[in-house]
Every structure is written in C-alpha cells, then in structure tokens.
Amino acid sequence: MAKQILVVGSVAIDDIETPAGHRSDSLGGSATYFSTGASFFAPIRLVAVVGSDFDAAELDDLRSRGVDLEGLEQVPGKTFRWAGRYGADFGDAETLDTQLNVFEDFDPKIPESYRETPLVFLANIHPELQGRVLDAFEGHRPELIGADTMNFWITGQRDALLKVLSRIDLLVINETEAHMLSGKKNIYDAADAIRAMGPKILVIKRGAYGALLFHPDGLFVAPSVPLRKLADPTGAGDTFASGLMGYLATCDTLNFEAFKRGVLAGTVLASFACEGFSFDRVKTLTRVDFDERMMQLRALISVD
C-alpha cells in the first residue's frame, strides 16, 4: 500500500497557447497537476484555495482519482488565473498574465486528518505559504519533504525561500533556476551551493536533456524520453515532481536507488504530460503505458 502524499500549491484557470494549439479557461495550477500525476501511484491530500467563481465539478476527475479535497478551501473572490505562450522550441513559457486573486490572502490550513501525512510536497507557490504548511507539521516531521519553486520567487522572495530550503529534504528545480538560485555558472558548483542551503537531495531538470539527481550517495544522470511532437509543456514540471514523489510513496526505503527510479518515473510522467494539452494525456494513462515507457527509458542508458 502506497504512503499518503500531501501537496500544497495552486489550483488555477489557465489560458495556454502553444505551437500546437490554444486552450482557454483550462483547469491548471501546480497542485492540480501534481495531484493528477501522483494519484497514479498513491493517495493524495490537496491543500489549496479557489474562488467563489470556481465550478466544483471541475474537480470531479481529481475526486474520482482518490484525491482528498478536504484541504481545498473555497473563499469569496476570483480563482487564480495564468495565461502563457510557448514559442516554437517549446522552451520556457512567456507569461502573458498572472492574477493571484484569492492566493493574495491565502492562509493554508492543514485539516487535522492530514497531520500525520508521511510525504509532503510544497508545489510551486509563494514560499511564505510553503513555510506555513511546514509550521503545521512541527512536532511530527514527515518522512520526506520535497519542494519546487520558480524564478519569480527566487528573485522576489529570496529570504522566505531560503527559510523554506533550510527545512526540506528534496528540491526539484530546472537548470535556469539552479543557476539563478546559486549564482554559480557551473552546474555542479550550483548543486553544491544549493544543497548547502538545506536540501540534501536535489533534482535539476534539463528539459530534453534529461535530469540530474544529486544525492548524498552519488550523482545519477537521467535521460529524457525521445519525443518528436509536443502539444503543451504546461505542468510538465509539476508532473515530473508528481512521478518522483508518487514513486517514492510506493517504496519502503527511500534510498539512492529509490530516488533514481523515482526520477525516471517523473521523467516518464512528464513526457506524457507534454504530449497532450493540459491533463489530457496524463488522465488517460494506464499502467501498461507507464511500464512500457519506463522500459524504453531504462533501455536508453543500459550498457553491458
């Protein structure tokens, strides 16, 4: 039986434009993407906020996937909105519009029933909110605390972010963010500097170049899944983290080998995420789909 995972992050309404198409008023947000992906492996508890404009039926799919929504607050006001556009290379999105709305005054409350959750993931959200969730776990620290962040918080909320980093076990960020956070040009120097800030385990995502896993027991270099046609990279980072945390929730022992396989699981889930708009492809994922691509990915680095 997989362990429970608590995730705090955003639930959002997105407008997304990619070279493959356009979608308006689409369910998004870091916690939503994470929950959808991680529910493939483990029972999820979600902490987030939506506005009075939010149609609860939007979450029927999450509910049907066994995601516990007791920690999702609905408050007066408008739901968080994000609009972004991807260029021809499907690289980092250009943010066209961000409306924090109900997230401006959000004070995350952890339901009593969530207090013993063994795995916690702080998805991309204001680091002060990430910190307040950790406060709720004082006295009964989870087995593993992971976090994500983004350029916006690295430059704008550095002090709050450094406090969070000092309290977590695992950080999952991309290469640009790693250079920005550490101020180091060399990626191995960057990793040293970031791990000295707190997280002993660091995953640096490099898009089509795969990912690096820095662990006290060594370094692991994960390849990416060879993709020829992308549809929408939105949420790929959250989905990567969901595969990693979700896989770890199925492991008795969280050692280096478990993290290696977790990074590969995250890579597999993220590759499916990119192949459809929004959650389209991840939602229809079967165990056979996952296992086949996992085997394909492992074959890429197998050598006698």
Which window, 20-28, 136-144, 161-169, 212-220, contacts a second copy (CB under 8 A)? 212-220
Tokens 């990912």 correspond to 211
Residues 87 to 146: which contact a second copy by CB under 8 A?
Answer: 88-89
Q: How far apart are CA 217 and CA 230, in angstroms?
A: 34
Residues 168 to 187: which contact a second copy by CB under 8 A?
Answer: 185-187
Give the nearer residue to a second copy in terms of CB position, either 27 or 263: 263
The answer to whether residues 267 and 248 touch, using CB atoms and an 8 Å cutoff, is no
24 in contact with a second copy (CB under 8 A): no
Q: Rounded to the nearest 10 degrees, how much is the dihedral formed by the CA atoms of 42, 47, 52, 56?
A: 10
Give the nearer residue to a second copy in terms of CB position, either 19 or 21: 19
Give the nearer residue to a second copy in terms of CB position, either 104 or 217: 217
Cα dist. 147→23, 186, 191 in Å? Answer: 28, 22, 15
Q: What would the two tokens of residue 8 be? A: 């705090």
The CB-of-257 to a second copy minimum distance in angstroms stands at: 5
157-192 residues labelled b (16+ CB within 10 A) or e (exposed): beebbebbbebbbbbbbbbbbbbbbbebeebeebbe
The CB-of-220 to a second copy minimum distance in angstroms stands at: 6
The interface mask with a second copy, positions 257-276, x = CB under 8 A, is x--xx--x------------
Which residues of this chain interact with a second copy, rule CB under 8 A? Answer: 88-89, 185-189, 206, 208-210, 218-221, 223, 226-228, 257, 260-261, 264, 298-301, 303-304
